């Protein structure tokens, strides 16, 4: 049959139309934006505790919010677990997530609860990680340079061409850095500092975790990164150490949200509640992730950077998480620093 041939392929494809994603009972679809070990561990433990199957897809927080936006008309995910707070706040602002008050809210640290109230109940903090410096001990020792201890140290001439930081156009980490400096010193002074710092920067990388990886592999001396990412590299065996600046520093709030219009709303809420308990939150450390858990009762492992030892600023997540403010600050960075010629 002549006519059959060319359409055979199409036919083959059409038969595929008859299956769409399974949504049997007792399943919750989780978009997970923390490290993959943590994701798997959380999925398994939740399943053990409740019998509800977790279908876990691991994606970066930027990719997840892009996916939520694309799927907004017909959501496929139920819970978005982890990832830095700004995209969660953005999702809340765009109405992509569902307000929910968990009964566990009272057990959480103040910053985690504030994240919830700032977002109209649409997201909650599950961990926090402070911004700081990562440095390659071998490289600095070879050059005979003292590790940086303060923001001001980074301006020293011996760090010329040794500092790496991400580009705020693409990286949430870099944006937290700018917002921190602005809250620390006021906007004009912060941008003055960034201009001076520019002389010591060797690259504004596109990805937020690229600088700490460059530090680990000896490609740059110092990076501005979240310190728990540095701890992860050090545990693998790289000569990395982390410090936090003496003037004070900002932090991210790793968050969790329920997707608006989730197909398994009841199970999604069960997962949400469970993820705020100490039993669930200690899994991060088990997976070698050392952020500070948001439930006060969660045991903190000795390797984890102690928030008590860090001079934290009162980071205004609500103000600096708004997309208008972010756009404005990034535009200013673009015109004043991004445009500067390479030193």
Site residues (CB under 8 A) for another protein, limited to 301-340: 323, 326-327, 330, 334, 338-340
Q: State the angle between helix axes of 85-93 and 61-70 in degrees (0 to 180), rounded to the nearest 10.
A: 20
Given the complex with another protein, which of 20 and 188 has the nearer CB atom? Answer: 20
Any contact of residue 65 with another protein (CB under 8 A)?
A: yes
**Window contacting another protein (CB under 8 A); options: 73-81, 104-112, 182-190, 274-282:** 73-81
Spell out, one character per residue from 12 to 51, where the chain touches another protein: x when CB under 8 A holds, - when not: xxxxxxxxxxxx-----x-----xxx--------------
> Which residues, 122 to 151, sit near another protein by CB under 8 A?
139
DSSP strands (E only) in 121-181: 123-136, 163-166
Q: Is 243 in the site for another protein (CB under 8 A)?
A: no
Structure tokens at 27: 């399943």
Task: Closer to another protein by CB, 82 or 109: give it.
Answer: 82
CB of 101 to another protein, least distance (A): 27
Which sign, positive or negative, has the C-alpha torsion 267, 36, 294, 286? positive
Whether the CB-CB separation of 208 and 168 falls below 8 Å is answered with no
The tokens describing 314, both together, are 């009162």
Pairwise CA distance, residues 258 & 325, whole Å: 25
Candidates 126-134, 215-223, 241-249, 265-273; binding stretch for another protein (CB under 8 A)? 215-223
Q: How far is CA 51 from the centre of its chain?
A: 29
- # of chain residues touching another protein (CB under 8 A): 81
**Contacting another protein (CB under 8 A), which of 50, 59, 313, 325?**
59
State the binding string over 163-202 for another protein (x if CB under 8 A, else -).
-----xxxxx-xx--------------------------x
CB of 145 to another protein, least distance (A): 15
Instruction: Give Cα 335 distance to the centre of its chain.
Output: 26
Closer residue to another protein in complex, CB, 35/50 = 35
Contact 260, 95 (CB under 8 A): yes
Residues 6+ apart with CB under 8 A from 45: 279, 280, 283
8-state DSSP, 144: T
Tell whether residue 292 is a contact of another protein (CB under 8 A).
no
Cα 13 to Cα 16, 133, 322, distances in angstroms: 5, 52, 44
Question: Which contiguous run of DSSP H or E holds residue 30?
Answer: strand 27-32
Task: Write down the least CB distance from residue 109 to another protein, Å.
Answer: 25
Q: Is 218 in the site for another protein (CB under 8 A)?
A: yes
Of the residues 60, 99, 278, 301, which one makes contact with another protein according to CB under 8 A: 60
Q: How far apart are CA 289 and CA 223, in angstroms?
A: 19
Q: Is 74 one of the binding residues for another protein (CB under 8 A)?
A: yes
């Amino acid at each position: 049959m002549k006519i059959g041939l060319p359409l055979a392929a199409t036919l083959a494809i059409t038969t595929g139309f008859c299956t769409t994603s399974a949504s049997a009972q007792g399943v919750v679809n989780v978009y997970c934006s923390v490290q993959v070990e943590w994701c798997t561990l959380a999925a398994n433990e939740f399943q053990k505790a409740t019998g509800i199957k977790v279908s876990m897809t691991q994606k970066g927080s930027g990719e997840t919010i892009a996916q939520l936006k694309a799927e907004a008309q017909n959501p496929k995910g139920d819970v978005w677990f982890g990832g830095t707070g700004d995209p969660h706040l953005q999702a809340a602002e765009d109405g992509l997530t569902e307000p929910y008050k968990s009964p566990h809210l009272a057990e959480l640290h103040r910053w985690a609860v504030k994240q919830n109230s700032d977002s109209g109940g649409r997201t909650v903090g599950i961990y926090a990680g402070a911004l700081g410096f990562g440095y390659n001990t071998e490289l600095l020792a070879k050059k005979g340079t003292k590790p940086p201890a303060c923001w001001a140290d980074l301006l020293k001439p011996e760090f010329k061409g040794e500092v790496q930081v991400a580009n705020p156009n693409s990286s949430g980490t870099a944006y937290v850095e700018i917002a921190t400096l602005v809250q620390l010193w006021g906007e004009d002074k912060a941008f003055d500092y960034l201009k001076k710092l520019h002389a010591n920067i060797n690259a504004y990388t596109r990805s937020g975790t690229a600088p700490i990886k460059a530090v680990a592999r000896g490609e740059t001396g110092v990076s501005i990164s979240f310190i728990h990412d540095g701890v992860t590299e050090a545990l693998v065996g790289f000569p990395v150490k982390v410090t936090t600046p003496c003037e004070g520093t900002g932090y991210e709030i790793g968050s969790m949200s329920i997707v608006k219009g989730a197909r398994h709303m009841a199970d999604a809420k069960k997962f949400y509640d469970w993820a705020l308990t100490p039993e669930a939150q200690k899994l991060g450390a088990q997976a070698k992730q050392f952020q500070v858990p948001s439930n006060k009762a969660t045991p903190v492992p000795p390797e984890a950077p102690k928030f008590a030892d860090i001079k934290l600023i009162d980071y205004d997540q609500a103000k600096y998480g708004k997309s208008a403010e972010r756009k404005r600050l990034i535009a200013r960075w673009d015109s004043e620093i991004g445009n500067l010629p390479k030193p």
